Amino acid sequence: MRGLDSLPTELIWHILVHVAAVDLARARCACQTWARLARGVAEDVLRRRRRLPVACDCPCWIRSLAAAEALERAVGQNPESRGWRDEWAPMCREWYRLLASRDMGTDQMFEANGTESVSQKLLSFAVAIEQKLDAGWDAERAAAVSVIVPCGHIAIAQALHELDGRYAASTHMVIDSLFVRACLAEEPAPPLYAALEGEFGLATNGPEWNLLQPGCAIGSIFTTTAPVEAIVPDAHTIRVAGYHSSVNTGGVLSYKLAESDIVCILSSRARESGFHSLVQTATAAPSAEYMLPPMATVCLEKIEEPGMWSVRRRKVRRRLYTVSVSYG
């Protein structure tokens, strides 16, 4: 009896190009020929869907295609009729509404030439954009990620939670941009830290992080809705009292203590199962920053009580949750 690998390559490709990523993963197990073609089909589809540069190589094409399909089920396809800039004003209005502590202001402040407009934010985040450009980022992706994440992360998380596509262009832009940089990364990120709660805390941006509680079972997993930012700790950010967020007020940098437990995010090299490292987005002051895209899987690895762990030879009087991550 002739085996599956005896079928014409063109016929196998024509079959595989019409199946979902989960079926490509199954087809990959049939034989070596089907495995090679399944990966090739996933790469071809994903390159077209995410408009990837030629230099972008991925160790997990099928896993990443599955992630792209999950994103489209959540918010729809990347819209052709609008871009992330078109979503800016409504996204920022929702951001202000969700943060009850903020003055709502007026709708005009988010429109062209307003104090919170795209053009003004691009000026405000010029240093962050420049750092990305110096690292080889595409100019449009550098600009988009630099302003969408700090200003639209909570609105993006809310829309993802509701499975609503009102910010589909912005969500696709952030995820696709971080995917490209993950493909190009040569080394995984070092251990990174963030506050769990508080004004800049992970649970404030994405309520799924509230799963991290003292009694949470090791191995518990959840999926992120908001982009996650975490830092390499230095003498200013993590002290004995806990995590300190950097605050820039009129060009003056200060550090504010977060009354919160702390999360440590471990990274590792990418493999066929997916990417397992945050992506570097800033290289200089106030600290080296890394980012995790929405719809990543987080797994709790361990919990350490206050005073039982240390950073930079300092025993920190806050509970520490250590997690690992995976995404496509």
- pLDDT tier, 8 (very low <50, low <70, confident <90, very high otherwise): confident
Q: Work out the average pLDDT over 267-296.
A: 90
Residue 73 scores a pLDDT above 70: yes
Q: HSE of 109 in the Cβ direction (CA atoms, 13 Å)?
A: 10
Q: Which residues pair with 245 in a beta bridge?
A: 256
- pLDDT tier, 31 (very low <50, low <70, confident <90, very high otherwise): confident
CA torsion, ordered 59, 63, 64, 70, to nearest 10 deg: -170
pLDDT score for 155: 95
Q: What angle do CA 317, 321, 325 make, to 5 degrees?
A: 150
- pLDDT tier, 1 (very low <50, low <70, confident <90, very high otherwise): very low
What does the pLDDT look like over 125-163, one tens digit per residue?
A: 999 999 999 999 999 999 999 999 999 999 999 999 999
- pLDDT tier, 250 (very low <50, low <70, confident <90, very high otherwise): low
Residue 17 scores a pLDDT above 70: yes
Least Cα distance to 268 among 193, 179, 190 occurs for 190
Mean pLDDT of the chain: 90
Residues 30, 39: Cα–Cα separation, whole Å: 13
Listed in sequence order, the residues at least 6 apart from 327 whose beta carbon sits closer than 8 Å to its beta carbon are 67, 182, 274, 275, 292, 293, 295, 296, 297
Identify the helix (H) or strand (E) that includes residue 178.
Answer: helix 168-184
More confident: 282 or 290? 290
Q: Provide the percentage of residues in the chain whose pLDDT is more than 90.
A: 69
Domain boundaries, the chain: 4-58, 84-184, 192-326
- pLDDT tier, 315 (very low <50, low <70, confident <90, very high otherwise): very high
CATH class of 4-58: mainly alpha
Q: Provide the percentage of residues in the chain whose pLDDT is more than 70.
A: 93
DSSP 8-state code for residue 187: S
Q: Which residues pair with 291 in a beta bridge?
A: 229, 279
Residues 293, 278: Cα–Cα separation, whole Å: 8
Q: Which amino acid is at 115?
A: T
Output the CA–CA distances (angstroms, integers) from residue 117 to 107, 135, 151, 255, in the order listed: 10, 26, 11, 27
pLDDT score for 325: 98
Output the CA–CA distances (angstroms, integers) from residue 270 to 95, 150, 296, in the order listed: 33, 26, 14
Residues 261, 212: Cα–Cα separation, whole Å: 10
What does the pLDDT look like over 97-121, one tens digit per residue?
A: 887 655 555 678 888 878 889 999 9
Residues 305, 318: Cα–Cα separation, whole Å: 7
More confident: 238 or 8? 238
pTM for this one? Answer: 0.90
What does the pLDDT look like over 43-53, one tens digit per residue?
A: 999 998 888 88
Q: Work out the average pLDDT over 173-194.
A: 96
Residues 185, 206: Cα–Cα separation, whole Å: 26
- pLDDT tier, 285 (very low <50, low <70, confident <90, very high otherwise): low
What does the pLDDT look like over 187-244, one tens digit per residue?
A: 999 999 999 999 889 999 999 999 999 999 999 999 999 999 999 998 889 999 999 9
Q: Which residues pair with 252 in a beta bridge?
A: 249
Least Cα distance to 122 among 156, 84, 154 occurs for 84
